[in-house]
Structure 1
């Protein structure tokens, strides 16, 4: 997926949001899971929110983010992430060994 998107951080954020079962994530949790600098994560979250990919809400003085399921390309991005992570990613990486 890194080939399709310019930002390495954005790719990590997409993978995190689309593979996560948690509905809302705090910035510090996102930074911890992505292993990226907080400023880079904040910058990408801001861009993604501006594009309508993610939304944020305030709860108990914390800003929490979630992926918008009504985003136009939600299903396509979900499919891309499924093919590159987890079992799908393992199958794609090992496709040359399949059937042997």
Structure 2
């Protein structure tokens, strides 16, 4: 449903990225990650900033962006995005594995083409396995070498933080 409300593919990818991976990032990093034009991303970052869903702050010659947790719609948007990508079910699956990074494959027709790529060690019992999350979301467990050779655009949505005991992102 979210992909029907947000018709810009770039804006949808940015919304998902900012709400799932709540770290600051800057334009060039997003351009590399999304494999999209800087202008298209800049336009959508401006739109999201104008709506105050994200905030930006200058640091030297870069502008860093992050989700605005003080926005009056933050809680609702957070729930909507997490429901759209079945994040709670994904977290349950991740709790069973030793993983390093989680990516979302960028597809033209979400949610039917929505796919998670979970980076695991080569020696992991999950390496090379695929499971279905819900009715339509594929989850592929792959070693780092496979990720580097993938042709599709991958959007990082979560990274394991060795300093945290709890991997489940909390709704603020």
TM over 0.5: yes
Structure 1 position 41 matched with structure 2 position 75: no
Aligned-residue CA RMSD (Å): 2.0
In structure 1, the residue matched to 2:5 is 4
Structure 1's 26 and 65: CA in aligned 2 closer, same or farther, altered over 3 A? same
SS in 2 for 1:6: coil
Give the whole-Å Cα distance in 1 for the aligned partners of 2:33 and 2:83: 20
Structure 1 position 13 matched with structure 2 position 56: no
Higher Cα Rg, which structure: 2
In structure 2, the residue matched to 1:65 is 65
Give the whole-Å Cα distance in 2 for the aligned partners of 1:73 and 1:32: 29
Question: Which structure has the highest strand share of the two?
Answer: 2
SS in 1 for 2:5: coil
Task: Note the alpha carbon deviations across 1:27-72, whole angstroms, 9 max, x for none.
Answer: 0111222232211100011111111111111112211111100112
Give the whole-Å Cα distance in 1 for the aligned partners of 2:20 and 2:34: 12
- Which runs of at least 4 in structure 1 moved beyond 6 Å after TM superposition? none
Give ranges in structure 1 of 5+ residues lacking alignment. 95-100
Task: Note the alpha carbon deviations across 1:69-97, whole angstroms, 9 max, x for none.
Answer: 01121112111221232428823537xxx
Give the whole-Å Cα distance in 2 for the aligned partners of 1:2 and 1:11: 7
TM-score (norm 1): 0.79
SS in 2 for 1:66: strand
Determine if contact 2:22/2:67 at 8 Å carries over to the other structure. no
TM-score (norm 2): 0.49
In structure 1, the residue matched to 2:50 is 50
Q: How many residues align?
A: 93
